[in-house]
Structure 1
């Protein structure tokens, strides 16, 4: 059975009442991938905005494997120390990683964030030498539209991320850099300029699915308008 572990920040954990892109990807793979698979990870909850804690199980559709390693306000620097134990405990074959926006917004600059990517990859491989990874570039949010230095950091990090993937990719443990979600528009694919709504979730899910389909032949093309 192929085991996927979603890793991310608030865009990945999602909040109470949402489907999440994790669910959308599950649906896509159910319809396009023939082999057995599941989603794994040490966490299952959504973020509860009322309590300010990741304690909710109120998924719009809870009938899917809800395992993940994602947290509201957590970035590469938070996940790097956790990934080794998560990989050892849950034995994922593929990490699906969407991180970086929160790092650049609050914690580290582009160069420091890229170093944390390297640390994350090193720790993941130490725990699972043959692990595969798909990394999503940072999607600029509403802050990037008005804060030029922040926008420059996002652009700079995405360049460094591509270089890091090229440097660290190896046949035994391949790393893919997914393309940015096709057609993603923060005005129509988010509910607040940052966090994905239903259409945004679908576009992010397809970015991951498309990368794996094109590079690894995993799954078939997805029928538009479904899921």
Structure 2
């Protein structure tokens, strides 16, 4: 019995010596140089490696940042050995080291040739290794830097057109293109090299003609270009044109007589000294003709209301000059003006809005007009609008407090069933930015509004405003609202240019310029009396250009 007990105790001692601590990780073989006598140890997994993709294409000589992240839950980062190796390179063997000296997970690599590269990062925690390849393609590099010649350049003066070419290897194919030049200039053929001579021979107007050239180059699959520009002038004194006026106003079917005089170098003209020519530059009347177009005293009789522009050109054979004459033709009936916008148009908190000051300015100018819209009150009630020059204020408008451009776009077709404007004062976008609408969606809403107005009246004139700024002193103005409004103001300028047409002009009105939200508003958003006066003046100036 005692012998059996001794055997059992011995067996228990043996089992206790052979057991190992419990672990949730898988085990691995003990390294060959290990002297652990307690039994098997837990295996340590290989480090994890992840690398960011490299934007392509890259070019020769450019420093390429390679960002990798190495993680190991069991081994401190300082105990992980990192090494880089070039697995593939377009360079011949032995011309580029196979192993790189960098021992960090983030390195900068500068390729020396075009082609395919593969770099390998190895991470070793002393027990296990892991590796990852980072591959990318490298193209030839090409850069073109052009320098514009000194200005001004005179007619007949030979000037160098010079560009610097920077390449990694090889000679690029080059091509010169004339991007901008005086009207009627035939195509310019220049030698296809980086430095050429050019002699402008066209006889420009006294204001000068602008030339712009572009040098383009291709090297393999890589292309680059740059431009240079200069103004060409004629030092010969052009003919002098003197007209009684450069701006006329008339009614439909009324004959407009224009009177001008022309002299050359201060001397009276003899027959044949100067050639005169009148041309129509802007006319809503497609059937308009000029009586006596080759004299200094032409006449026109417009049949359609709108803005007309005539140009007189005087050419003495060596130099020429010109002058523009604007003619505003009105219909016998009053222009219907639609103020379309948000609370800034509506008028809030006892403020009159810009509409009252604009109304007075139009009366002073003897302008025949009628404000229209389905609203005739301010928010919440009308302030006192004093009579002016014996007339009572016309309160009609289409402004609504808090409204956004997309809401106006959705409702405008229905509103237009009740009226048809000749001129629209469009001031929207403030609430869109304050209510976190995107600039792009607001621009598209404004585009839809302009389209709806033209569907109602194909010849409507739209005065499109970049809205006044607001101040962050107002609680409603949040972080980023001012920056987004400034972006919208610039985009509206572009939209006005894009949508401007001959029959339906879109005139950009920069209400934001010169407007100080801290001084010109009552609450950081809505204009005070000074701000309303500024807005009214800009609307008035724009209306007078139509």
TM class by smaller structure: 0.7 to 0.9
Q: Distance in 2 between matches of 1:152 and 1:16?
A: 27
Taking structure 1 as reference, are residues 167 and 91 closer, same or farther at Cα in structure 2, changes over 3 Å only? Answer: same
Give the direction of change, closer, same or farther, for the CA distance of 1:19–1:115 in structure 2 (3 Å limit). Answer: same
Find 1:39's aligned residue among 368, 371, 378. Answer: 371
What does residue 462 of structure 2 align with?
133
CA shift for structure 1 position 37: 0.9
Once the two structures are TM-superposed, the CA of residue 64 in structure 1 deviates from its matched residue by 1.0
Gap regions ≥5 residues in structure 2: 1-333
Question: Does the 8 Å CA contact 2:469/2:516 hold for their aligned counterparts?
Answer: no
In structure 1, runs of 5+ residues without a counterpart are 49-55, 217-227
Supply the distance in 2 between the matched residues of 1:46 and 1:11 (Cα, whole angstroms): 10
Consecutive aligned runs of 4 or more in structure 1 exceeding 6 Å deviation: none
Cα displacement string for residues 85-142 of structure 1 (whole angstroms, at most 9, x for unaligned residues): 3334222100001111101110511111001011111111111111111011122201
Structure 1 stretch displaced more, 166-175 or 142-151: 142-151
Higher strand share goes to which structure? 2
Give me the whole-angstrom Cα distance separating, in 2, the residues matched to 1:97 and 1:44: 17
Q: Of residues 435, 441, 447 in structure 2, which corresponds to 1:106?
A: 435
**TM-score normalized by the length of structure 1:** 0.84
Q: 1:17 aligns with which of 340, 350, 365?
A: 350
Q: Which residue of 1 aligns with 2:521?
A: 190
Cα gap change, 1:26/1:107 in structure 2, threshold over 3 Å: closer, same or farther? same
Give me the whole-angstrom Cα distance separating, in 2, the residues matched to 1:82 and 1:114. Answer: 17
Q: Secondary structure at the match of 2:337?
A: strand
Whose relative contact order is higher, 1 or 2, with alpha carbons under 8 Å and at least 6 apart? 1
Give matches, 1:62-211, under 5 Å: 63-143=392-472, 147=478, 149-180=480-511, 183-211=514-542
CA RMSD, Structure 1 to Structure 2 (Å): 2.0
Look up the SS of the partner of 2:530 in the other structure: helix
Q: Name the SS for the 2:359 alignment partner.
A: helix
Superposition deviation, residue 76 in structure 1: 0.8
The answer (yes or no) to whether the contact 1:80–1:116 under 8 Å persists in 2 is yes
Mapped partners of 1:181, 1:69: distance in 2:
21
Distance 1:61 1:80 in 2: 33
Contact 2:467 2:512 in 1 (8 A): no
Distance 2:491 2:438 in 1: 11
Larger radius of gyration: 2
1:57 pairs with 2:370: no
Q: After superposition, give the CA deviation of every residue in 1:142-184 in whole Å (9 maximum; x if it has no partner).
A: 1399855222211211121111111111111111111235532
- Cα distance in 1 for partners of 2:489, 2:367 equals 32
